[in-house]
């Protein structure tokens, strides 16, 4: 009996010893990972705070079509402010409100969040100003990532919007490429940049012509497209519908000998003869394709009159 008990005690002792050693090894590994930066210690070290930025989208000439920027929100503990007028006059230049409006907002809210016009390089200076004016205990800045589109709604069919579903636009089709990679140790991470075939200048022309032929209130359909039929690159695409349902894909494929279009800039040109112009009808739409040099104007419309007028004016303005 005593021999059996001794064996049990020995086994228990070995088990306890093995458990302690395993725990020591585990914590040493965790410590090593942290010291080597393998584990992001954001919650314990305020100096490490990874920022994630989506890739920038450029047009074919290098103009920015979509980009991430850091914006700052001014947080005010309004109910604790005693010198409302003075604070309003100091902060107003850094907001999109005038001093009088801002004063009324502070007086009528317990806590206030205001979008600022501060640039990243100005944030520290603003904080120093609040400290020197003794408002730093009432006013603070918080960062916010914002996706901006410098040319507004122009080219939206091609560019798209972040988190918008589409089988055609760049933001949706190249989402994985644009998304920043997850990092555990770096201060910032950015997705890859992409360059589209879109030309801002030609897109502006297409949008202007489209609006001059079809009013926003009209049910009439019109699509204008300018493309390089040797590469399949789309330089501009404008439609009365703001989503991909406004794209006449049959007309686009018909205009391309290869049948393949792209919204990315590419240097690959295929040698081929200039095709004959096309004028046909697809379902309820009139379709026209006018070729000149390496390029083609594709027009699709529910109105033959609008199609003829818009395609003619587009060609004239582009001097094809």
Query: What is the pLDDT confidence band of residue 195, given thresholds at 50, 70 and 90?
Result: very high
pLDDT tens string 54-77: 999 999 999 999 999 888 999 999
pLDDT in tens, 37-57: 444 433 334 455 667 889 999
Instruction: Check: CB of residue 60 under 8 Å from CB of residue 197.
Output: yes
Average pLDDT over residues 278-305: 93
Residue 4 binned pLDDT confidence (cut-offs 50, 70, 90)? low
Torsion of the alpha carbons at 125, 126, 129 and 133, rounded to the nearest 10? -170
The answer, yes or no, to whether residue 257 has pLDDT greater than 80, is yes
* pLDDT at position 221 over 80: yes
Decide if 66 contacts 148 (C-beta within 8 A). Answer: yes
Average pLDDT of span 199-226: 93
Mean pLDDT value of segment 271-296:
92
Distance CA 299, CA 255 (A): 10
Look at the pTM and tell me if it is higher than 0.95. no
Q: 25: which 2 tokens? A: 């090894």
DSSP 8-state code for residue 95? B
Q: Which of 261, 158, 249 is nearest to 200 (CA)?
A: 158
Pairing verdict, β 222-228 and 295-301: antiparallel
Domains and CATH numbers, the chain: 70-145 (3.30.70), 200-318 (3.30.450)
**Given a cut of 80, is residue 286 above it in pLDDT?**
yes
Residue 89: Cβ within 10 Å count: 15
Average pLDDT over residues 297-302: 95
Quick one: 256 exposed, middle or buried, by C-beta within 10 A (0-12, 13-18, 19+)? Answer: buried
pLDDT higher than 90, residue 25: no
């Amino acid at each position: 009996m005593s021999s059996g008990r001794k064996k049990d005690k020995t086994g228990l002792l070995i088990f306890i010893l093995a458990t302690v050693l395993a725990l020591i090894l585990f914590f040493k590994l965790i410590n090593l990972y942290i010291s080597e930066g393998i584990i992001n210690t954001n919650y314990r070290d305020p100096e490490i705070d990874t920022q994630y930025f989506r890739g920038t989208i450029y047009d074919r000439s290098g103009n920015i079509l979509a980009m991430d920027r850091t914006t700052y929100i001014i947080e005010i503990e309004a109910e604790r402010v005693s010198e409302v007028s003075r604070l309003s006059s100091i902060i107003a230049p850094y907001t999109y409100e005038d001093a009088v409006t801002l004063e009324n907002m502070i007086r009528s809210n317990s806590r206030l969040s205001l979008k600022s016009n501060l640039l990243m390089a100005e944030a520290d200076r603003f904080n120093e100003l609040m400290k020197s004016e003794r408002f730093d205990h009432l006013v603070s800045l918080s960062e916010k990532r914002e996706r901006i589109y410098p040319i507004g709604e122009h080219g939206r069919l091609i560019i798209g919007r972040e988190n918008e579903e589409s089988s055609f636009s760049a933001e949706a089709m190249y989402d994985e490429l644009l998304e920043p990679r997850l990092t555990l140790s770096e201060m910032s991470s950015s997705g890859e940049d992409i360059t589209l075939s879109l030309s801002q200048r030609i897109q502006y022309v297409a949008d202007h012509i489209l609006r001059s032929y079809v009013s926003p209130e009209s049910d009439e359909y019109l699509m204008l497209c300018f493309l390089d039929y040797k590469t399949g690159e789309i330089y501009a695409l404008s439609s009365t519908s703001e989503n991909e349902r406004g794209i006449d894909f049959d007309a686009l494929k018909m205009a391309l000998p290869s049948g393949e279009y792209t919204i990315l800039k590419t240097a690959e040109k295929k040698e081929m003869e200039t095709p004959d112009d096309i004028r046909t009808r697809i379902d309820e739409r009139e379709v026209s394709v006018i070729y000149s040099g390496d390029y083609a104007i594709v027009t699709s419309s529910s109105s033959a009159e609008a199609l003829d007028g818009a395609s003619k004016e587009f060609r004239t303005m582009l001097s094809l």
